[in-house]
Amino acid sequence: MKLTVLGLGCWGLVLTKLLTGNFDEVCGWSREQDLSEELVKFKRTTKPFNVQLNEKVKITSNLKEAIDGADIILLVVATSAIRAVCKQLKEAGIKDEQILVNASKGLEQGTLKRMSEVILDELPTQKIAVLSGPTLALEVLEGQPTAASVAANDSEIAKKVQKALNVPNKFRLYTNDDMIGVELGGSLKNVIAIAAGFIDEMKFGDNSKGALLARGMAEIVRVSVHLGANPSTLWGLSGMGDLIATCSSHLSRNNTVGRMLARGKKIDDILAELGSVAEGVKTSKAIVELAKKINIDTPISNAIYKAVYSKENSKEIFMNLMSRQLKAEENFVRQ
């Protein structure tokens, strides 16, 4: 079998290294301007952390060559580039029977669509699945065990991807038939993670963090269920599991954004310093627009949006959450 990984950023490189032993052939693709000489010649990179790939991994900027004969194609590019890459895949001759697995988390700006919807806009007959869960790249690179969800509308596709990408003792995969819930859980938790980073930097304590996770999850569930997700999905790996990991770890880029906002830094300077994508920044804008469109209350996401995009004082924005009108706590499992 052949695996192709499209996008050799942090997560793409880690997945390439992790999954190499599962496949006879492995190919990594990225735009020519994004490929370093070190990676092409020596299968090695030192930024943002050290990754040494197996010699059998082929690195290329030729998309047609990369996908030729691939059984599974992992899409690990920034969400803002997914539509463009799918257009390129069509031109490169991707075949319907090749399974395209999206591993990027976010919503498309403007259309507010999930990534699977964007993919099917451009490749309407493609076999697709999504991969999501608590998967901090550096921990996976170090071989620390985790688990994730593989979701597809077709159970046979999900099972095939599960079997192909499962790595014993390191990367345990579960199938799921709720693509909406898996995608939204993985996308919307990035916004809550920014708030978690802010709490960490302000040293508000574990009570504050616990309250944020609970109310953040309520917000995620409200939006996701309205859009067709099964609420139980959000308490699983791609929902609560990913939320806990991302909100608790300083390895998270979104958590880092929140901590830097608490220090008074501006978002443009923060992103320049990070040097990599923090999807929660753009997702905060998308979720505020989406929530307004479907008339769903998202106070935490609204606060993050203001903290990121306005000139208001970040501490005041967050403290205002505590003075909102009192209300009852939701019960999403009530029949």
Closest residue by Cα to residue 298 from 216, 234, 240, 235: 216
Please identify which residue in the block is written with the tokens 């076999």: 127
Structure tokens at 272: 């320049």
As to burial, measured by CB atoms within 10 angstroms (0-12 exposed, 13-18 middle, 19+ buried), residue 36 is middle
The amino acid present at 152, given as its one-letter code, is A
Catalytic residues: 189
Positive or negative, the CA dihedral 143, 82, 297, 319 is positive
